[in-house]
Structure 1
Amino acid sequence: MKRNYTIIPLSLLLLIAMVACSNKSKGNTDSEGKQPKSTVSVPQFDADSAYRYVKEQVDFGPRVPNTAAHKACGEYLAKKLEQFGATVYNQQVDLTAYDGTLLKARNIIGSYKPETKKRIVLLSHWDSRPWADADSDEKNRHTPILGANDGASGVGVLLEIARQLHKQLPELGIDIVLVDAEDYGPHQSYTGNHKEEYWALGSQYWAQNPHVQGYNARFGILLDMVGAKDATFFYEGYSEEFAKGINRKVWNAANNLGYGRYFVKEKGNIVTDDHLFVFRNARIPTIDIIQYSEETGFYENWHTLKDDMDGIDRNTLKAVGQTVMEVIYNEK
């Protein structure tokens, strides 16, 4: 068999060797020659601190609109955000509940780097259910609940994130929006027409009347019932519909951090929650991190008198809080 040989000059061999050494020194390029994303220093979420903020809310009692406990807790939340260096906006507004009750509501917004156009919005509702209408004991079904998980857990996580933001700001601007009157939807015994708009009254108002004219955000993350032991979070249905990429971003971050047992990469059910109206009315793609599955439904003590501090687990708060921080600090 005849072979062809090419004689390569010594000078060309030296040039090839130099280029090879140069490429080797880069080391971390991918198959397309692109540099991988640089990692940033993400602060450590303090679960004990978040737990304390959950308890401090619960200690006020049920945070039902038109009550003294609700008013006092609203002052506490606004002062906490101020303490943590946020520019604070308060939306004091009268909202009409499904049964005609006039609710003295208050949305509380804490903004970081308010001058920055590129923004992320983090949300949670801070009110609690006016009735334990899912309680096993019928006598309790018109008694207000403490809402340790359903309300206070998400807010507790966001307050701890605010504390960390005060010490180290990410590249993008962050808005923490604590919405009111989310849980004043119809009692389970209500026989009238059930509408989605009967829920999440505060977020509906904020989405239509943002704290800053022309407000927009790249995406939003809603936290709801994020404190129970061994909670599992699936891709919520509406989130998959209008913010699928954000779901993947968050769940991938959680799994990379080792929190895969909490953030399960499977599609869950549709839940009517604040994120739905933030997307519909403000056109901000927003996901919902919420404990809900077809097999078990919501958190086991959902809308019962047992939704108290006994149901709050620091490990779950840590998994959610650290995941959210990983996302917002790495966003460019």
Structure 2
Amino acid sequence: MRLLWRPAALLAATVLLTACPDNKSTTETADPADPAATAEPELRKAPAFNADSAYQFTAKQVSFGPRVPNSAAHVKCGNWLVAKFKALGLQVQEQPFTAMAFDGKQLQGRNIIARFAPQAARRVALFAHWDTRPFADKDKTKPNAPLDGANDGASGVAVALEIARQLAAQPDSLTPAVGVDIILFDAEDYGYDSSTQADKENKLAGAGVESWCLGSQHWMKNKVPAGYKADYGILFDMVGAKGARFSREELSRQQANDVVNKVWYTASRLGFSDYFIPQDMPGITDDHVFTNQAGVRTIDIIDHVPYGDEFFPPYHHTTQDNMSIIDRGTLRAVGQTVLQVLYQE
């Protein structure tokens, strides 16, 4: 993913955003559409999200090696994901595609769609990307090395997998009132970053194609299932690192502010407000840009706050994005919050 604003403008943008009247904690009552503006609904009984399981799902993906499109590790991990969802009893579809990357390479990608309760009319989509960036271009010592992508990629997939495992383990009488679709996008992280790759040519420039999020761009134009619709979607990206903080990203607020409020409010009620912070941040280019364009109102849960002069964590697109930064508490905060949101429907 990349920022939609240049870093020089971000501090000013953040000051303006945090000064806006709608930049309120979800526990305030200024907005009558906010769930917190009414009497607090009872929290329905939801399964307990198992952070140890999510951690192991993260480690399993990393064990294949960097999941870079066109690599053997990428194929093996994709096959494992498909088999895992099928073993859980979900209905699985694969969407293979070929896309040109910014450097001219033809990438063999595969989106993976796993459906829980496919017969349900009302649906919620959970999105994540399962590939890793092929070069650690922000790394000061190894900018050309591939990276594990433990957080940037694997953690979001792991949270979605553990949610699927919990849903599949429930008897029919204890499942949520909505169907859940887990859609994993490929080739999200093979994009051109002008701040680190100015010496390279972006061969997609002027072609009407964003160099990031190639899998979700393909899905947007060729939705699987055909004509797919959902009440809303939630994108997981970088949701497993120690000390993560999830701000309310701008495009999420513009396209699905009610969903932002619902998620942040639920997190607060569950005691996770240290993770889901009441801070508005500028927009970023991530898979939710294209799922929103596809007609699925989507929010992005992503570690996206000021880190000094940067707006991504220090490990972002470096070789430090490995299992040493993954934290069970963060995985649990995200997974339990979204499970509860599903059960509140």
* TM more than 0.5: yes
In the alignment, the residues of structure 2 paired with residue 149 and residue 111 of structure 1 have an alpha-carbon distance, to the nearest angstrom, of: 24
In the alignment, the residues of structure 2 paired with residue 115 and residue 69 of structure 1 have an alpha-carbon distance, to the nearest angstrom, of: 34
Q: Does 2:185 match 1:179? A: yes
Pair 264,38 (structure 1): closer, same or farther in 2 beyond 3 Å: closer
Displacement, 1:35?
Answer: 9.2
Match of 1:315 among 329, 332, 339: 329
Give the corresponding residue for 2:197.
Answer: 189
The answer to whether the 8 A contact 1:227-1:312 is kept is yes
Give the corresponding residue for 2:300.
Answer: 288
Give the corresponding residue for 2:78.
Answer: 74
Give the corresponding residue for 2:123.
Answer: 119
In the alignment, the residues of structure 2 paired with residue 326 and residue 39 of structure 1 have an alpha-carbon distance, to the nearest angstrom, of: 8
- 5 Å-filtered alignment, 1:164-313, equals 164-168=166-170, 169-187=175-193, 188-190=196-198, 191-192=200-201, 197-280=210-293, 282-296=294-308, 297-313=311-327
How big is each residue's C-alpha offset from its partner over 1:211-264, in whole Å with a ceiling of 9 and x where there is no partner?
A: 112110000000000111111110011111111111110000000000000000
The answer to whether the 8 A contact 1:180-1:201 is kept is yes
Match of 1:91 among 92, 95, 102: 95
Match of 2:152 among 150, 153, 165: 150
The answer to whether the 8 A contact 1:268-1:294 is kept is no
Give the corresponding residue for 1:330.
Answer: 344
How big is each residue's C-alpha offset from its partner over 1:43-83, in whole Å with a ceiling of 9 and x where there is no partner?
A: 00000000000000000000000000000000010111111
Q: Which moved more, 1:209-218 or 1:127-136?
A: 209-218
How big is each residue's C-alpha offset from its partner over 1:115-164, in whole Å with a ceiling of 9 and x where there is no partner?
A: 22210000100000000000011xx1111111000000001111100100
State the TM-score, normalizing by the size of structure 2: 0.82
Displacement, 1:37?
Answer: 4.3
Alpha-carbon RMSD across the aligned residues, in angstroms, is 1.6
In the alignment, the residues of structure 2 paired with residue 149 and residue 41 of structure 1 have an alpha-carbon distance, to the nearest angstrom, of: 29
The answer to whether the 8 A contact 1:106-1:179 is kept is yes
In the alignment, the residues of structure 1 paired with residue 63 and residue 192 of structure 2 have an alpha-carbon distance, to the nearest angstrom, of: 26
Aligned to 2:94, the other structure's residue is in SS state strand
- Quick one: higher RCO (CA 8 Å, sep 6+), 1 or 2? 2
Give the corresponding residue for 2:135.
Answer: 131
Aligned to 2:265, the other structure's residue is in SS state helix
Aligned to 2:66, the other structure's residue is in SS state coil
In the alignment, the residues of structure 1 paired with residue 43 and residue 320 of structure 2 have an alpha-carbon distance, to the nearest angstrom, of: 42
In the alignment, the residues of structure 1 paired with residue 271 and residue 255 of structure 2 have an alpha-carbon distance, to the nearest angstrom, of: 26
In the alignment, the residues of structure 1 paired with residue 329 and residue 53 of structure 2 have an alpha-carbon distance, to the nearest angstrom, of: 12
The answer to whether the 8 A contact 1:269-1:294 is kept is no
Residue type of the alignment partner of 1:54: T
Displacement, 1:207?
Answer: 2.0
Residue type of the alignment partner of 1:270: G
Give the corresponding residue for 1:161.
Answer: 163
Q: Does 2:60 match 1:48? A: no
Aligned to 1:284, the other structure's residue is in SS state coil
How big is each residue's C-alpha offset from its partner over 1:172-208, in whole Å with a ceiling of 9 and x where there is no partner?
A: 0100011100000015214546687111110111122
In the alignment, the residues of structure 2 paired with residue 307 and residue 200 of structure 1 have an alpha-carbon distance, to the nearest angstrom, of: 19
Give the corresponding residue for 2:34.
Answer: none
Aligned to 1:266, the other structure's residue is in SS state strand
How big is each residue's C-alpha offset from its partner over 1:75-109, in whole Å with a ceiling of 9 and x where there is no partner?
A: 01011111111100001111111222111101011
Displacement, 1:294?
Answer: 3.1
The answer to whether the 8 A contact 2:125-2:233 is kept is yes
In the alignment, the residues of structure 1 paired with residue 296 and residue 177 of structure 2 have an alpha-carbon distance, to the nearest angstrom, of: 19
In the alignment, the residues of structure 1 paired with residue 42 and residue 302 of structure 2 have an alpha-carbon distance, to the nearest angstrom, of: 30
Q: Which moved more, 1:207-216 or 1:320-329?
A: 207-216
Segments of structure 1 that go 5 or more residues without pairing to the other structure are 1-33
In the alignment, the residues of structure 2 paired with residue 203 and residue 158 of structure 1 have an alpha-carbon distance, to the nearest angstrom, of: 17
Give the corresponding residue for 1:26.
Answer: none
In the alignment, the residues of structure 1 paired with residue 90 and residue 155 of structure 2 have an alpha-carbon distance, to the nearest angstrom, of: 20
Displacement, 1:265?
Answer: 1.0
